[in-house]
Structure formats: structure tokens, C-alpha cells
């Protein structure tokens, strides 16, 4: 990198900090700090939702997976119609009617505080691991480009992101996400065009070369439970995984609850999921195009280059100065948008769900800021061990499937099954999480199935345990179960 690249990065950081400064110190209540007083435009919530889910993990890990494999990972996107039906028809309307800060408040009202607390802790564990991966991803590129240690870059990114998130609350998160998404999308389009241009023959040549080596293979109709990405795994496991991402994840749902009504919230959700799918396909196609480029130029790639390294290698060696700075800014934008959203959601869950179990004193905006800063510090420390993660995208998928199925199962059990009691939900959630751990550590089952099977365990265990207790009174369930609205 040269002076021009550093100037571009400085401008990027100045823009992000400037947007955050607009909202710094304006929050007078936790409702404003965590929900933006519910007056955020639907399109801003949409952009923020896309930016949250499409992280630097995807931007760097996606091309690596496509380069070393194919497009079969993306089969899980086929579950989108079912997921949208459940989220827009069942989950979001329920959260909106209850006017919750933390979506895990629903579990206390439907079951009890114990169920809510366990679900909140599972969410915090999930997001702590995920944040560490998101912080480590940009450090992979920057450490190679500027010669600084990866841990130093992790600390810098963590500190800057935690500070602007702490100062500006959810509105700073949403509007900086909007800026960062624009940079990120522009970078994807540019890189796609550049890589295809560097392959003689352009897009048709990329398709021919990559397709000829199986890099564009999409469907895998194997019945095996041990193959990583199959059609059945995508259909069943992908449904639960996507529900865990978009439907029962505070980091994602929170920005949709900042809109003025359920219609705007549903529009934002649908748009976000469609756009995230398009971005996902584009990122993976970059990997296929890189494969074609290095097939034509085999002398440019050395033995032992791992999937996490292939995209950074291309940026460092093939892009002109100035463009490198823009690409690095895009990677930082993708990382920081996700980090800021997750930090804000973790603070929301902590103050809404965990804080009342510790002290009767009501938290204020100051507590929200300190909580945000504390989680930022924790994730930064964890990210310093990022070299242990393996492929960063697959590591993030693994974490989501370990925790997501039990959370999805508990929410859906509460919303769909009248007979499930608090004790049943508590037992089901613990058994569901334990089953996911067992599948991971004790079997060869592919990770995309973890969430689906753990959700089934929640349903079966929760219902079975509930049969040993009296059924919940119908009046107690009104407003919390589909088909039993408030009178």
C-alpha cells in the first residue's frame, strides 16, 4: 500500500466516525438507544440488515470456499420462501405486538424467566464467537498488506467500532451500516468486473473454465448425512440455519423492530433476504473467477495457499494502488457493520434479560454504553486467537448451527404449540443444544444438519416433558401462540 491507499482509508474512517458523531449523546432513554424510538425508515433498516448478515467473513471466506470447492454451500438459500413465510407471518408480527427490546423477552412472557435467561446466554455465547471471527477476517488482509501484526489490527478495528457503537446507539449502527453497505456492494461489483476482465475471454471464459472444473456445481442430491452440502441438508438444515440468522437473532431482528409498523418491517425483511442472497452468489462467483484466473496464470500461485488467503493474495498482487485502499475499506466496512450491530444487540440482550436477574436497579443509557464497550473488549481478545478458526466462513456457519437450532426450536415451540409448558421448553432447549454438541463432537454428520436435528430434539423433548404437567391455561397463552390473539 502507498500514500494514496492510506488516504482512502483515512477518509473512510473519518466518514464512519462523522456519521456516528451525528447521533452521539442524543439518546435519552434505552428505547431510543436500542430501538431508535421506532422511527427509522424501512429502507435504512433494510440496508442495515443486509450489512449485518453479509460480513467480512462472507467477503473473504466465500471466495475461498468457491475457489477450493464449488457453489453447493449456497443451496441453503433455497429455503428462503419457507423462512420468509415463518418470519413475516408468525415471528415478526409476534415481536411487534409485544413491543419488546430484546426478542428473548417473548420467552419469559410465554414460558418463564429461566427459559429467557438460558436463551439469552446461548445467544451471547453464539455472538461472542461470531464477533471474534468477524474481527479477525479483515486482519488477514491488512496484516499482509501493511506488514503489521494481525492482533494489532484486530485491536484497532475492535476499539474504533466499539467506540462509535457505544456513543451513537442503534441509529449510529443503522446509518453507518448504510454507508458501509454502499462501499461493500461497490467493491463486489468492481472486483467481479476486474477479475473477469483479467481472464482472457471475460465472463464466458470464466464460466467455461470454472464450470469445466466443477466450480459452478450447485446441486448435490446425495442422501448422505455426512456430506457437507447436499440438497436435503440445504432444504431442512438451511431452513433452520436461515431462521436462526434472520428470525431469532437479536442482532438481525432488532433493526426491523425500529421501523414504524409491521408492514414496513416485513418489507425490510424480505428485501434484506433477497439482497443478501444476491450478494452471497456474487461473492462466491468471485471465487470461481479467481480459480479461472489462476488456472490461466498458474505461475502466480504457490503451493500451500489456503482458502482464506486466495482473495487477499489477489488484492495485494493484482490491484493497482488506490483500488487497494478502496478494497481494504470495503473489507473493513463489511466487518465493522456486522461488529457494530452485534455489539449493540448483545448489550440489548444483557440489559433486558440478564441485568434484572442481577440487580433491581433499572439500567440507563450509560449502562448500555458500558455494556457495549465491555463486549467489544471481550470479542477483541477472542479475535486475537483467530488463526485457530480454519476457513472463516465455515467457522461462522458451524457456530450458527451449534447454537441456532435450539433457539429456533424454543421460539417455534412457544409460538406454534399450545401444550408446551415452561419446564418442557427449558428441558427441550438444553437437550437441543446438547444434541448439537454431540453431533459435532461425536459423529460425522455434516454441520448444516446440526440445527435441524437440535430443533427436532427441542420439539420432541419439550412436548414429552410438558405431558407430565397440566396444560397451560388458554387465557395464559393469549397473544403468545398463533391462533390465540389478545381479545
Say yes or no to pLDDT of 390 above 80.
Answer: no
Say yes or no to pLDDT of 26 above 70.
Answer: no
Q: Which of 82-86, 133-137, 143-147, 363-367 has the lowest mean pLDDT?
A: 143-147
Helix, strand, or coil (residue 54): coil
Pick the more confident residue, 38 or 89: 89
Q: Are 70 and 214 in contact (CB under 8 A)?
A: yes
Residue-averaged pLDDT of the chain: 84
- The Cα–Cα gap between 249 and 472 comes to 27
- The label of the residue with cell 457494530 reads 340
Q: Summarize pLDDT for 412-422 with one digit per residue, the tens.
A: 999 999 999 99
Residues 6+ apart with CB under 8 A from 206: 195, 196, 199, 288, 289, 292
Average pLDDT, stretch 409-435? 96
pLDDT the model gives residue 27: 60
pTM for this predicted structure = 0.86
Residue ranges of alpha helices (H) inside 249-364 are: 250-256, 262-296, 310-318, 323-349, 355-358
Topology given in CATH for the domain delimited by 3-393: Sodium/glucose cotransporter (1.20.1730)
CB atoms within 10 A of CB 390: 13
> Nearest Cα to 240, choosing from 431, 86, 73?
86
Pick the more confident residue, 469 or 179: 469
* Selection from 46-50, 87-91, 381-385 with the highest mean pLDDT: 87-91
- The label of the residue with cell 438481525 reads 252
Residue ranges of alpha helices (H) inside 2-112 are: 3-23, 30-35, 42-53, 56-68, 80-86, 92-98, 105-110
Q: Summarize pLDDT for 446-461 with one digit per residue, the tens.
A: 999 999 999 999 999 9
pLDDT the model gives residue 29: 63
- The Cα–Cα gap between 185 and 276 comes to 11
Helix, strand, or coil (residue 258): coil
CB atoms within 10 A of CB 97: 14
How far from the centroid of its chain's Cα atoms is residue 270's Cα?
16
Say yes or no to pLDDT of 466 above 90.
Answer: yes
Q: Summarize pLDDT for 142-192 with one digit per residue, the tens.
A: 777 667 787 888 888 888 888 877 776 677 777 777 777 787 788 888 888
Say yes or no to pLDDT of 210 above 90.
Answer: yes
CA dihedral for 58, 59, 63, 68, sign (positive or negative): negative
- The label of the residue with cell 484497532 reads 156
pLDDT the model gives residue 259: 80
> Nearest Cα to 113, choosing from 431, 304, 285, 352?
352
Average pLDDT, stretch 399-406? 91
Average pLDDT, stretch 49-61? 70
- The Cα–Cα gap between 95 and 262 comes to 10
Q: Are 349 and 131 in contact (CB under 8 A)?
A: no
pLDDT the model gives residue 31: 62
Helix, strand, or coil (residue 302): coil
CB atoms within 10 A of CB 11: 12
pLDDT band at 434 (very low <50, low <70, confident <90, very high): very high
pLDDT band at 462 (very low <50, low <70, confident <90, very high): very high
pLDDT the model gives residue 418: 93
Residues 6+ apart with CB under 8 A from 301: 294, 310, 313
Helix, strand, or coil (residue 128): helix
Say yes or no to pLDDT of 217 above 60.
Answer: yes
pLDDT the model gives residue 234: 92
> Nearest Cα to 444, choosing from 220, 225, 222, 221?
225
Longest dimension (CA), the chain: 72
DSSP codes joined into one string, 65-78:
HHHHS-SGGGGGGG
Say yes or no to pLDDT of 342 above 90.
Answer: no
User: What values do phi and psi take at 224, rounded to 5?
Assistant: -70, 140
- The Cα–Cα gap between 357 and 371 comes to 16
Break the chain into its structural domains and give their ranges: 3-393
- Rg of the chain over Cα atoms, rounded to whole angstroms, equals 22
Residues 6+ apart with CB under 8 A from 314: 195, 290, 293
Average pLDDT, stretch 97-114? 88
- The Cα–Cα gap between 92 and 46 comes to 14
Say yes or no to pLDDT of 471 above 80.
Answer: yes
pLDDT band at 337 (very low <50, low <70, confident <90, very high): confident
pLDDT the model gives residue 34: 62
Give percent of the chain with pLDDT exceeding 70. 90
User: What values do phi and psi take at 202, rounded to 5?
Assistant: 70, -150
- CA distances (Å), origin 290, targets 206, 282, 287: 9, 12, 5
- The Cα–Cα gap between 463 and 74 comes to 33
CA dihedral for 64, 70, 76, 81, sign (positive or negative): positive
Average pLDDT, stretch 124-143? 80
pLDDT the model gives residue 379: 83
How far from the centroid of its chain's Cα atoms is residue 318's Cα?
30
pLDDT the model gives residue 87: 93
CB atoms within 10 A of CB 303: 4
Q: Summarize pLDDT for 306-316 with one digit per residue, the tens.
A: 676 788 888 88
CB atoms within 10 A of CB 69: 19
Amino acid at each position: 500500500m502507498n500514500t494514496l491507499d492510506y488516504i482512502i482509508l483515512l477518509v473512510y474512517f473519518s466518514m464512519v466516525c462523522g456519521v456516528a458523531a451525528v447521533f452521539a449523546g442524543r439518546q435519552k432513554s434505552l428505547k431510543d438507544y436500542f430501538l431508535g424510538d421506532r422511527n427509522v425508515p424501512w429502507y435504512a433498516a433494510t440496508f442495515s440488515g443486509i450489512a449485518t448478515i453479509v460480513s467480512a467473513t462472507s467477503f473473504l471466506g466465500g471466495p475461498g470456499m468457491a475457489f477450493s470447492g464449488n457453489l453447493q454451500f449456497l443451496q441453503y438459500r433455497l429455503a428462503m420462501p419457507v423462512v420468509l413465510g415463518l418470519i413475516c407471518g408468525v415471528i415478526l408480527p409476534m415481536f411487534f405486538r409485544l413491543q419488546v427490546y430484546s426478542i428473548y423477552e417473548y420467552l419469559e412472557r410465554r414460558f418463564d424467566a429461566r427459559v429467557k435467561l438460558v436463551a439469552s446466554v446461548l445467544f451471547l455465547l453464539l455472538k461472542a464467537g461470531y464477533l471474534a471471527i468477524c474481527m479477525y477476517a479483515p486482519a488477514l488482509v491488512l496484516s499482509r498488506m501493511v506488514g503489521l501484526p494481525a492482533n494489532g489490527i484486530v485491536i484497532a478495528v475492535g476499539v474504533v467500532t466499539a467506540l462509535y457503537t457505544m456513543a451513537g446507539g442503534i441509529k449510529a449502527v443503522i446509518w453507518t451500516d448504510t454507508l458501509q453497505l454502499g462501499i461493500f456492494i461497490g467493491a463486489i461489483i468492481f472486483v467481479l468486473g476486474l477479475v473477469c476482465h483479467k481472464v482472457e475471454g471475460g465472463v464466458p471464459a470464466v464460466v467455461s473454465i470454472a464450470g469445466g472444473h466443477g466450480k459452478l456445481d450447485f446441486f448435490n442430491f446425495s442422501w448422505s448425512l455426512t456430506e457437507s452440502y447436499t440438497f436435503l441438508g440445504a432444504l431442512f438444515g438451511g431452513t433452520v440455519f436461515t431462521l436462526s440468522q434472520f428470525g431469532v437473532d437479536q442482532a438481525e431482528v432488532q433493526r426491523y423492530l425500529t421501523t414504524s409498523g409491521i408492514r414496513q418491517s416485513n418489507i425490510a425483511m424480505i428485501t434484506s433476504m433477497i439482497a443478501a442472497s444476491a450478494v452471497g452468489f456474487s461473492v462466491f462467483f468471485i471465487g470461481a473467477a479467481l480459480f479461472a484466473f489462476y488456472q490461466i496464470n498458474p505461475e502466480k500461485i504457490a503451493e500451500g495457499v489456503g482458502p482464506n488467503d486466495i482473495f487477499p493474495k489477489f488484492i495485494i498482487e493484482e490491484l493497482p494502488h488506490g483500488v487497494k485502499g478502496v478494497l481494504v475499506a470495503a473489507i473493513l466496512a463489511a466487518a465493522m457493520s456486522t461488529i457494530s450491530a452485534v455489539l449493540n444487540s448483545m448489550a440489548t440482550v444483557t440489559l433486558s434479560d440478564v441485568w434484572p436477574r442481577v440487580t433491581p436497579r433499572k439500567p440507563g443509557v450509560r449502562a448500555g454504553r458500558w455494556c457495549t464497550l465491555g463486549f467489544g473488549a471481550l470479542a477483541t481478545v477472542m479475535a486475537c486467537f483467530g488463526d485457530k478458526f480454519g476457513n472463516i466462513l465455515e467457522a461462522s456457519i458451524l457456530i450458527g448451527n451449534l447454537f441456532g437450532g435450539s433457539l429456533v426450536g424454543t421460539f417455534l415451540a412457544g409460538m406454534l404449540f399450545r401444550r408446551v409448558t415452561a419446564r418442557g421448553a427449558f428441558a427441550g432447549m438444553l437437550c437441543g443444544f446438547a444434541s448439537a454438541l454431540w453431533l459435532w463432537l461425536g459423529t460425522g454428520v455434516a454441520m448444516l444438519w446440526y440445527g435441524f436435528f437440535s430443533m427436532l430434539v427441542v420439539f420432541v423433548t419439550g412436548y414429552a416433558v410438558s405431558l407430565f404437567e397440566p396444560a397451560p391455561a388458554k387465557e395464559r397463552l393469549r397473544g403468545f401462540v398463533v391462533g390465540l390473539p389478545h381479545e
